[in-house]
Amino acid sequence: GRLKRQKYNPERAQKLKDSAVRLLRSHQDLTALLLEVEGPPCKKLSLSKLMDCDSSEACTNHSSSFIGSALQDQASRLGVPVGVLSAGMVASSVGQVCTAAAETSHPVLLTVEQRKKLSSLLEFAQYLLAHSMFSRLSFCQELWKIQNSLLLEVVWHLHVQGIVSLEELLESHPDMRAVGAWLFRNLCCLCEQIEASCQHADVTRAMLSDFVQMFVLRGFQKNSDLRRTVEPEKMPQVAVDVLQRMLIFALDALAAGVQEESSTHKTVRASAAHS
């Protein structure tokens, strides 16, 4: 018999789109999504090549535009929002930068070369944001999937350059206690680096100052002053948790009489100087 043509069902269409997004996140190799795209002036363009590019700003802008157009075409073929697709791809590239940095001696900082690559990547993310082709929420969710390798300096750059604020990133995490513990561990490592590294001194001091200032401001704001969000209590909760951990750590270290120039003493001294 003849098959009857199904009528358009908006609810069914949305379910299919949601299923496609879940399938994409689970199985799509986002790092190879734009492995080879033909077009002038470069025969092959990808995010990795854009990150390594030392060419002019005009060429960088052309590359961003070209990859953005390819993303839109790919999203249309897959039937998923371009913002979700681009967020996943950028997060995957951020993960590559963090993984490479994890092999160095700095547990929270990037090398000069990695910092350049991240800067190029974030310029591309800013292009996507400016053209409404980037989902901040999806990006945050993808970043927390690589939480174990996510570097604090990367989080700071994302915040400073306006890709996603620290508040947006923290509020997207499902477990506030876990994210508080993650931040505390990384801040302790950052404090040690302030004393140990002259090469990254400006970056580490700026990072610690910004983080501590934000935690103090958000942790001690009155409820009436809080910005209205979906769950406005999350950020103050994390801020207070991190500050309490830092205070307890400092008091325990002082009570134990830690030796000068030890890693614990350096951490306490650096955190006190920026509080």
For residue 80, is it within any domain? yes
Residue with tokens 């802008």: 61
- The answer on 211 and 160 residing in a single domain is no
- The answer on 178 and 166 residing in a single domain is no
Q: How far is residue 18's CA from residue 251's CA, in Å, rounded to a whole number?
A: 49
Q: How far is residue 30's CA from residue 128's CA, in Å, rounded to a whole number?
A: 16
Residue 33: the pLDDT is: 47
Give Cα 210 distance to the centre of its chain. 16
At 232, which amino acid appears? P
In 111-220, where does DSSP find H-type helix? 112-130, 136-144, 152-160, 166-171, 176-196, 201-219
Cα angle for residues 214, 218, 221 (degrees, 5° grid): 140
| 17-33 mean pLDDT | 56
- The answer on 259 and 189 residing in a single domain is yes
Q: What is the pLDDT of residues 78-134, one digit of tens each?
A: 888 999 999 998 999 999 898 887 776 567 889 888 899 999 999 999 999 999 999
Residue 36: the pLDDT is: 40
| 125-152 mean pLDDT | 93
Domain count of the chain? 2
Residue 253: the pLDDT is: 74
Q: Which two tokens stand for residue 172?
A: 């997207």
- The answer on 154 and 252 residing in a single domain is no
For residue 150, is it within any domain? yes
| 6-32 mean pLDDT | 61
For residue 196, is it within any domain? yes
- The answer on 153 and 180 residing in a single domain is no
Q: Are 200 and 109 in contact (CB under 8 A)?
A: yes
For residue 199, is it within any domain? yes
- The answer on 198 and 208 residing in a single domain is yes
- The answer on 211 and 157 residing in a single domain is no
- The answer on 132 and 79 residing in a single domain is yes
Q: What is the pLDDT of residues 221-260, one digit of tens each?
A: 765 444 444 445 688 889 999 999 988 888 887 777 655 5
Residue 37: the pLDDT is: 41
Give percent of the chain with pLDDT exceeding 70: 65
Residue 220 is classified by DSSP as: S
Domain with 206 in it: 174-222+232-265
Residue 136: the pLDDT is: 95
Residue with tokens 């005009």: 58
- The answer on 82 and 100 residing in a single domain is yes
Residue 271: the pLDDT is: 56
Residue 160: the pLDDT is: 95
Residue 267: the pLDDT is: 58
For residue 246, is it within any domain? yes
- The answer on 198 and 109 residing in a single domain is no
For residue 32, is it within any domain? no
16 against 57, higher pLDDT: 16
Q: How confident is the model at residue 42 (pLDDT cuts 50, 70, 90)?
A: very low
- The answer on 190 and 164 residing in a single domain is no
Residue 15 in this model has a pLDDT that exceeds 70 = yes
